[in-house]
Structures are given as structure tokens and as C-alpha cells.
Copies of this chain bind each other. A is one copy, B any other.
């Protein structure tokens, strides 16, 4: 082969491509040789940047965990200030940008321990965020804790159910359910 050497790769490039493949084909599709083909190189490159496949998967997990924690929380906090506005924004965000990647990672986590741990950490941070918002809105701490769980699990469930319904209506219903939660503490 003619070594053109137009572009060199970094470990981050591999991780990003792995995240893409994970998002739309699942963890079983993120394998080093197919990934190499997608990147236009051979696995000789891969094994220079990573010790083995597991190391790539750990890197993927780390990347997702950081993004998943701060991206959504930061996005919400930047978008508005009032607690109830933030909850509405959060709900919209789940449906819009509402995560084939999240879904793939969660599917992965169902039978991989390290993935499960990462998901657990993300869940607990996001849950705490929702709970704090409900408290700030005026719910008592015990009530906020319960309602936050209801709301959070529901948003997760939305990503995993296949209830056929126009996206427009799904968001609308979710928002009205949110109002219900906010009204009747």
C-alpha cells in the first residue's frame, strides 16, 4: 500500500468513532477491525493507541459519562433560571436530543458491570439535579424525592418504550404531566 500519511489519528479519534458506532449499532458493533476500516486505517494504528479492545471500551464509557453528566445539566442551567422552567427545558431536551447514545449505553449496561456502574453514577447525579429543582420549586424534601423519582424514571422509560405516538404529542403529554407534578406537590 502507498503510505500517503495525509492524516494521523489520536486515541480521541478512535473513541469518538466508537461512540458513534455505539450509538447507532450497539456495543457489539464497536470492534477494532471494522472501526479501523471506518477510519481508513488498519488495526496496527489501534494497538498503538490502546492496549486492547477493553481499553477502548473504558475510554468510551468515560467519555460518555462526562458528557452525559454535564452536557444535559449545563444545557438546562444555561437555558433558564427558574426551577420549573428548568424542568420544562429538561423534559424537552430528553425528547429532542433524547439519546440513541444514552439508550445504547443503557442497553450495554444491562450485562456489563463497568457500564452499569457508569450509568449508576450518571443516574444518581441527574436524579439529584431533578430532586433539587423540585425542592426549589417548593415541594417538601420527602415529596420532592419521590416525585423526582417518578419524573426521572419516566423520562428514562420514554427512551426505552416503543409507544407509537407522534413526537409532538409525546412532548406535549410529558410537559402536561410535568405541570401536574408541579401543581399538586
Contacts and interface: CB of A to CB of B under 8 A. Distances in A.
Contacts of A120: 162-164
A149 interface: yes
A146 B177 contact: yes
A141 to B, nearest CB: 13
Interface string A141-166: 00001110110111111101111100
Contacts of A26: 110-111
Looking at A106, A146, A161, the one whose CB has the most chain B CB atoms below 10 A away is: A161
Main secondary structure of the interface of A (DSSP, over half): helix
A104 B111 contact: yes
Contacts of A183: 184
Q: How many copies does the complex hold?
A: 2
Given A110-B104, A111-B26, A184-B180, A150 B154 contact: yes
Interface residues of A, number: 42
Contacts of A133: none
A127 interface: yes
A53 interface: no
Interface in A107-151: 107-111, 116, 119-120, 123-124, 127, 145-147, 149-150
B177 A147 contact: yes
